[in-house]
Amino acid sequence: MRIPAAALAAVVSAGSLMLGVSPAMAAAGDFTISLTAPETVPLSRNYNYTATVDFEGVDASHPATGVTMTTTLPEGTTFAGLPTGSSSPVLSHSYDPATRVLSMILDETTEDLVSIVYTVSQVDNGRKYEGFPLSTEMIGAGGPGGEVSSGPVTSLVTGPHDYRAQKTATTITGSTHREVTYRFNVCSEESYLSFSAYAQKLTDVLPAGAVFASASTGLGTWDTSAWPTATWTSTEQYDHTGYCLDRSNTGIWLTVRYPEDVAGWEDGQRPPVNTATLETTDANGVVRAGVPATAQGPAFSPA
């Protein structure tokens, strides 16, 4: 039987079909690149990347030369450094902070495997949140086969979103102590390590019978329309600076009167223990519960 000219050339042997196509063979000096990084990275902390170059067929007679490697560091990072000197496989390197591009020229090598470890620092941490992706890849050039890529590598930023409410109760010395001013604040539990809070909400449910007197203005906004529930909200970005949101500790307050004709509030009794809850919102819009705070005014005195 004649095989039509349009048919693919094939050889049938031992019941198997083998197409007449030979796989491309890697040339001496070709290489592949792998890039590794931690799966998770603590907020604000430096971390390392390891780029490993696997050369094909290099030896003293056929060293690898002219190999370059380029990577764009992830958003939210900057280059911190890499080992240099006679023991380093990197002949020279440069970094452009504006584009976050790190470029390296490798020294001539006869080694099959060459690894480069470089360190990055985290910046712009106020924009980060739990699971913020740090993604990058490494591009290599200079081998006979042309440009190669490591493929993308992603590390996820982790850290606390630990904020707590602060609340105190004060009255005027020598008064009946029936008018109580509660002062509030929002503080970070882990200075310099917590993710930023892009919104804060304090909720205080006062005892039934308590009378609203006045509230602070300026920093945040109070809503007492659902009294005895009072809600304070703010959209001021609060970074982990080591200070509480209201550095004066006097800018967020609520004044309440406790009438003497309410059962249980007679002279000599104290107002109920009162609790304020806290919610904060991270850069990704996720609302998280903070640590609540309690306060109690002094015993009521006769006029």
Q: What is the pLDDT of residues 131-178, one digit of tens each?
A: 999 999 999 999 988 999 999 999 999 999 999 999 999 999 999 999
Return phi, psi of residue 80, to 5°.
Answer: -110, -30
Q: Selecting from 3.40.190.10, 1.10.1040.10, 2.60.40.740, 3.50.50.60, what CATH number does the domain 29-158 have?
A: 2.60.40.740
Percent of the chain with pLDDT over 90: 81
To which residue do tokens 């990084």 refer? Answer: 37
- The pLDDT value recorded for residue 4 is 46
Q: How far apart are the first and last CA of the chain?
A: 121
173-190 per-position pLDDT tens digit: 999 999 999 999 999 987
Spatial separation of the C-alpha atoms in residues 142 and 131, rounded to whole Å: 36
- The pLDDT value recorded for residue 26 is 59
- The pLDDT value recorded for residue 300 is 97
User: Please, are residues 111 and 59 in contact by the beta-carbon 8 Å criterion?
Assistant: no
Three-state DSSP class for 14?
coil
Whether the predicted pLDDT of 233 surpasses 80: yes
* Domain boundaries defined on the chain: 29-158, 163-295
Q: Comparing 29-158 with 163-295, is the CATH topology the same? A: yes
Q: What pTM was estimated for this model as a whole?
A: 0.82
What is the rounded average pLDDT of the residues 117-132?
Answer: 97
163-295: CATH topology is Immunoglobulin-like (2.60.40)
Closest alpha carbon to 42 in 134, 176, 145, 171 = 134
Closest alpha carbon to 44 in 10, 14, 70, 80 = 80
What is the rounded average pLDDT of the residues 186-196?
Answer: 84
